């Protein structure tokens, strides 16, 4: 993936988050907040680094504010203590299209019927359920 493709990918991911209802949170560590069926998901997309600190990864950092719910939906992917659910893609072997498709599909699982059922089970009172 070229630097130009990487930059386009970051913009596409940002637009997708906004389309889902994410709210920019520029004064916080994570730059977006998205309400999902599993609670708030904080999201930051790592910037493009060039020069000696260049990374060969596309990284999206996310963190659920209610890890107990998220772990029930993603038992082997979400850190049960911190709520972190990070995505790392190798720029050499992944295309921008495949990175976006993977992230989009995983993010959709935070709104699916299984996520809604976990929320509806009463694990957290008054949890908003995204539609």
- One DSSP character per residue, 17-37 reads HHHTT-EE-TTSSSSEEEEET
- One DSSP character per residue, 38-77 reads TEEEEEEEPPP--GGG--SEEEEEEEES-HHHHHHHSTTT
The pLDDT value given to residue 127:
44
Q: How confident is the model at residue 111 (pLDDT cuts 50, 70, 90)?
A: confident
- Do residues 62 and 41 lie in contact, with contact meaning Cβ atoms separated by under 8 Å? yes
pTM recorded for the entire structure: 0.82
> Could you tell me which residue, 118 or 17, shows the higher pLDDT?
17
The three-class DSSP label of residue 84 is: strand
């Amino acid at each position: 993936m070229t630097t130009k493709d990487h930059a386009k990918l970051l913009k596409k991911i940002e637009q997708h988050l906004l389309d889902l209802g994410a709210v920019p949170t520029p004064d916080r560590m994570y730059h977006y907040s998205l309400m999902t069926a599993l609670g708030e998901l904080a999201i930051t997309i790592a910037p493009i680094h060039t020069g000696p600190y260049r990374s060969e990864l596309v990284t999206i950092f996310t963190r659920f504010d209610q890890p107990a719910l998220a772990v029930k939906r993603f038992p082997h992917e979400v850190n049960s203590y911190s709520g972190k659910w990070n995505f790392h893609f190798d720029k050499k072997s992944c295309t921008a299209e495949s990175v976006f498709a993977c992230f989009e599909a995983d993010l959709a699982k935070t709104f699916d019927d299984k996520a809604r059922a976990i929320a509806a089970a009463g694990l957290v009172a008054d949890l908003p359920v995204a539609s």
